[in-house]
Amino acid sequence: MTEVVFHFNVPDKQAYACRLLRKGYRQGVPLLVLADEPVLTELDAALWTFAPHEFVPHCRATDPAHVVRHSPIQLHAELPPSAPADAVLVNLRPLVPQGYQRCARLIELVTADPNDRQLARQRWRGYQQDGLQPQKYDLQALARP
């Protein structure tokens, strides 16, 4: 059963996603990111530049098959049928991703923007309707003394 975790009050999705992906890469976890094409393009560029003197290996789903097959972080517009069962899926799309159940873990990033929070509530309910109990990781609560 897929573990679903919502990271709430994310100040900047792109920067947070970069740090999250770097952490997962360092831990040796296969990572898949789902996002719309403009977001994927921005994230691809950010992963090359967000930390000086550091490379976070990743690829786009449109890269050659041998590159995708060997990349620890894959950026996709749709979840591939060949998604590894032990993968962590980071969803940056507004809807529940089709086929997410094939992944071990799913992470949702949610900002404080009211529209983003409303879409997250709908996804939360969608996961509950699938019989899952999403977990909440509130960055704002962690920052309080």
Q: Residue 54, SS3? A: coil
Domains of the chain from N-terminus onward = 3-143 (3.40.50.10110)
Q: Which residues of the chain are under the pLDDT cut of 70?
A: 142-145
| 87, 31 contact by CB (below 8 A) | yes
| 20, 29 contact by CB (below 8 A) | no
pLDDT at res. 142: 64
Per residue in 64-79, pLDDT tens? 999 999 999 999 999 9
| 6, 120 contact by CB (below 8 A) | yes
pLDDT at res. 143: 62
Based on the number of CB atoms within 10 Å of its own CB, is 18 exposed (0-12), middle (13-18) or buried (19 or more)?
buried
Q: What is the pTM of this model?
A: 0.94
Based on the number of CB atoms within 10 Å of its own CB, is 66 exposed (0-12), middle (13-18) or buried (19 or more)?
exposed
pLDDT at res. 53: 82
